[in-house]
Amino acid sequence: MSKPMVGIITGSKTDLLIIEKVEAQLKAFGVDYDVTVASAHRTPKKVEAYAKVAAEKYDLIIAAAGMAAALPGVVAARTILPVIGIPIHSKSLGGHDALFAIVQMPAGVPVATVAIDGAKNAAVLAVEILALKYPELKKKLIVFKAQLAKG
């Protein structure tokens, strides 16, 4: 059986501090991933190329973006994979602009959206989705949730 693989894409190198939290949580579950920096606005051809082949490489995608936050939606529009969006905090609007941009997707192009800077939840949600295909992750989630309950 193949191993789970998550594609992580973010619009800016400055977002990598948030992505480190996604990476740490995925590592804790033993889930492989790779990270790509590509902007829906500054490098749209790179984003389109990424999304075009994503279904051949990944089980799902975590897409993080701040401000106008088009990246998760642009990726979701070009792949059949589930996309989890992370709105990134910004100084001007505190990340609310990104949250609204990611959560308000048109019918047929869903993006599961976590809290502003909700990197850990994005990773956990990814693992919960992956557990549908990879039974070994179910056991890890049971342990993880039990540890949460202990505080």
Measured at the CA of 38, the angle between CA 133 and CA 92, to 5 degrees, comes to: 105
Indicate the annotated binding residues for substrate.
12, 15, 42
1-21 confidence digits (pLDDT tens):
589 999 999 999 999 999 999
Tokens 């949730």 locate to 145
What is the fold of 5-150?
Rossmann fold (3.40.50)
- Can you read off the two tokens belonging to residue 146? 């039990």
Residue 1 pLDDT: 55
Question: What one-letter code names the amino acid at 85?
Answer: G
User: For 41-52, how does the pLDDT look when each residue is reduced to its tens digit (9 = 90+)?
Assistant: 999 999 999 999
Residues making up the binding site: 12, 15, 42
- Per-residue tokens: 7: 């594609």
pTM to 2 decimal places: 0.96
The reported pLDDT for the residue numbered 151 is 80
Residue 60 CA to chain centroid, in angstroms?
Answer: 8
Residues of the chain with pLDDT under 50: none
